[in-house]
Amino acid sequence: MTLLVSAANGHLGRHVLDALLERGIPASDIVAGVRTPAKADDLAARGIRVVEFDYSRPETLTAGLEGVTRVLLISGTDPDRATGHRNVVEAARAAGIERLVYTSAPRVDEIEYALGADHLATERAIAASGLDATILRNNWYTENYLDSVSRAAESGVIVAAVGDGRVASANRRDYAEAAAVALTTDDLAGQTLELAGDVTWTYDELAAAAAEVLGRAVVYQPVSVEQLAAGLQQAGLDAGTAAFVAGIDDAIARGALSQTDGTLARVIGHPTTPLVEGLRAALKG
């Protein structure tokens, strides 16, 4: 069985590679799909085969999938990510891939939000392809808050437009372990799983966790979605990007990240990383 991890040079991808190796998968059975192979020499040095795998260039996908059995499609970050994802799905179908595992977003079929729309479109493309697939709807990565906590070290404030919304985050490492399980076993075949940290928290609790990690007072300052978008534009973002980012906060306020039922912990076989511990590790990293 040969396993391809796409976006393997990214934060999550590298954790997945580590998780596969720790599960005893030989490096020779792992393929690292990356946009720029020259930037992945360290992966090749570990005995992992590195191939060009650019979601926007279908010819690289066809070549990269040669000899591959199962694929982890880590969601992209390009503005037109849904098109790139569909390119990968079509290439996987044409290559006769045995299983596709996809990192989606939470509750995309329940709550409408811009980021979720791209993931829902990808999930539908996967369903239409007929591929045997596992959908991992990953809640937020605790590492997503690294910038906010770093700024709070100076300002003592975390500004957000989430109201009283709750988040069930876990560390990338936790989600990477789940992806490794989905790739290497049949336990999750054909399933769509909502994966989240064991504990939900509010932004007041995020501020308290940041204070503990930073050793200084930190408070959560709630603002409206409009105020957040305006502030982001003042900080240099274009109007479209500012609205997109503010829209994520709005989705959090509406409960997009608020649910957890312990599925992630059950899949990986241990509790997920607590918020304070996760923030501390992210800051050290």
Q: What is the CATH number of the domain that holds 234?
A: 3.90.25.10
Whole-number pLDDT of residue 80: 87
Q: For the segment 103-146, what is each residue's pLDDT rounded down to a tens digit?
A: 999 999 999 998 999 999 999 999 999 999 999 999 999 999 99
Q: For the segment 48-103, what is each residue's pLDDT rounded down to a tens digit?
A: 999 999 999 999 999 999 999 999 999 998 888 999 999 999 999 999 999 999 99
Q: Return d(Cα 211, Cα 28) in angstroms, integer.
A: 44
* Entry pTM: 0.96
Give me the CATH number covering residue 41. 3.40.50.720
Pairing status of strand 219-222 against strand 192-195: unpaired
Whole-number pLDDT of residue 285: 77
What are the phi and psi torsion angles at 158 (to 5°)? -115, 115
- What is the distance, to the nearest Å, from the Cα of residue 184 to the centroid of all Cα atoms in its chain? 19
Beta bridge partners of 194: 137
Beta bridge partners of 170: 141
Same domain membership, residue 124 and residue 17: yes
The Cβ of residue 258 has, within 10 Å, a number of other Cβ atoms equal to 20
Q: Is the pLDDT of residue 6 over 90?
A: yes
In terms of residue numbers, what domain contains 14? 3-138
What's the total number of domains in the chain? Answer: 2
